[in-house]
Each structure stands twice: as structure tokens, then as C-alpha cells.
Amino acid sequence: KHYEEEEEEDALPDSDALPDSDDEVDLDKPRPIQIVLAHEDDHNFELDEEALEKILLQEHIKDLNIVVVSVAGAFRKGKSFLLDFMLRYMYNRTSACWIGGNTEPLTGFTWRGGCERETTGIQIWSEVFVIDKPNGTKVAVLLMDTQGAFDSQSTIKDCATVFALSTMTSSVQVYNLSQNIQEDDLQHLQLFTEYGRLAMEEIYQKPFQTLMFLIRDWSYPYEHAYGLEGGKKFLEKRLQVKQNQHEELQNVRKHIHSCFSNLGCFLLPHPGLKVATNPNFDGRLNDIDEDFKNELRNLVPLLLAPENLVEKEISGSKVTCRDLVEYFK
């Protein structure tokens, strides 16, 4: 399906852009599946309905309430590294040492390697996890990867559309940023939440659920400690509205507060030089700095442990997998 910003009758997707769905979604072998693709040449958006339906309309999950955790951010900023550990948690969540052994590479299920082409769009993991919440209800958990490049006006517009879509469809949006929250990052966030708010025609309530700023390679632990508490203090400082601020800066901050029911921030240390400089790095824990591993052990369950799962709601009502397919369309 095309969502066209300009009406073009003959606009067709690249023949190689979205592979034929029949061989695309092999549910026996879990992997990332592209479901939304931005075509940079004509600024069209394509939704692979067939792939989405094949994943979310499976008999055992279609009527379960859904939890959608999206990690969103620019290319090459370590998103797939985080998603790999999120997968490791989901596949080993009953184990106390889900993070794995020191010499164990991140194998089996990996978000990397599949698609080296940097395409603006949304991928989802083809396996939906069924989890028992502490209150006894079963929920379906979907992991989503949203990516784009904020490097020119046209790509920013495409990104805003894609990021708006993922913010509208996720219950938790992890906004993956490098080193700090820059003014640009807040402006991009304002842009794509504004797109989403307009699309949802949601004027009175806060349209989105949880936004978690994830600051990678945090270098100032003596000012704000790693983790959630340090992140909370840092975020309060960055999103504070001050009288002496330029009006535009005040508006950005007010807008972000008005859009999300919950705002959080997590400060993550640098994973270490072996991770950053070794082209053959394969995720072995003994190559990763201790501080990073410790914080990762806190971060991932914070997002994915059964007691912390946030079910997707639209206008205050919980949504099933089947509902989400319709909502996406």
C-alpha cells in the first residue's frame, strides 16, 4: 500500500524493495521483517500488509492484547546491538543469567546482518512472544526497529512520517540517542509527534504512551549517574521550561510533555573500545565493559520483564494483535 504525499498514479515500488511476502515471512526462522518502507525518490510509503497479517493474525495470538516495544533512532547508533540483547532476554527470560556467558557470541537470533542497506522504515521481529503477566493474563510482545537518517530536509520529512507511525503503533518508544539530548533531537521529536497527533486527531488526551530516552555512550556519570535515576534527573533538567528560554525552546518542551503519558530516560555507558573498534566483534560479553553490562542487566528487564510490560492502548482502550493490523492500515 502506498501513502502518497503527492498523488502519483503510476508510482510503483522498486521491484526489489519488499521481497515477495510468501518467501519473505518464514515463521519457522525468526528474523527482522521490513513492514514499512520509505521510498526516498518519490517520498512514498509502503506497508507490507501481507507480512504484517502473517505475523499478527496467527491463531494463537490474534486475540491477545499486544505490547509493542519500539527502538527508534538514526542509523549506525547501536540500535541493533541493543535489540540483540532484547532478543537474548526474550529467548532466555526464565534464566537468571539471561545475558549469557562471557565467551558466548550473540548468535542464534540477530537483528544485524540481514539488511546492510540503510533503508528508512520499520522492521518487526517475526516471532511474537506470548508472556504471562503477574496478574495471570497473557499478552503478545512485538519488538520493533524504527530507523532513518536525519541528514537533509527531505529525509527528515520521511523520517518524521515513519517515526510518527512507530510512535502511534508502539506502547513504549525507546528514542536511541548518542551521548546527549541535543536541541535537534527535541525538534525532531516534536516534528514526528506533531505528525502523529494530527493523524490520530487526538486533541484533548495525551496521544502517546511511554517515551524512554536512551542516551548511549554517556560520558558524565559524575554529574548524572548511569541508569534510570541519573537519567530521570538529567531529563528533568533538559526538558525544564525556563522563563529566560527562547519561546521556541519553551514550546518544544511543553509539546513533548503534552504528548506522552510517561517520560523516562536511561543513561548507558560506552560499551568499550573492543566493541567500537573491532570489525569482527560478535557480542561476546568479555569484550564488553563491565559498567555497560551492569546497566544492560537493568535496562532490558525494565522494558521487557512481565511486570513492566505496557499494553498498547488507543484512546484509552487496550488493543489486540488483530486490532493493531487494522490500525496500521
CB atoms within 10 A of CB 129: 18
Residues 26-328: name the CATH superfamily: P-loop containing nucleotide triphosphate hydrolases (3.40.50.300)
Helix, strand, or coil (residue 18): coil
Element (H, E) at 44: strand 44-47
- Residues 3-58 have pLDDT tens digits of 443 333 333 334 344 444 444 567 778 988 999 987 777 778 889 999 999 999 99
Q: Mean pLDDT highest for which of 69-83, 86-100, 217-231?
A: 217-231
**What does the pLDDT look like over 95-141, one tens digit per residue?**
888 988 777 777 655 666 444 556 678 999 999 999 999 999 999 99
**Percent of the residues in the chain that have a pLDDT greater than 90, as a whole number:** 52
b/e per residue 183-215 (b: at least 16 CB within 10 A): eebbebbbbbbebbbeebebeeeebbbbbbbbb
Q: How far is CA 164 from CA 30, 160, 169, 328, in A?
A: 26, 6, 9, 12
Residue written as grid cell 503477566: 133
What distance lies between CA 210 and its chain's CA centroid? 11
- Give the start-to-end residue ranges of the domains of the chain: 26-328
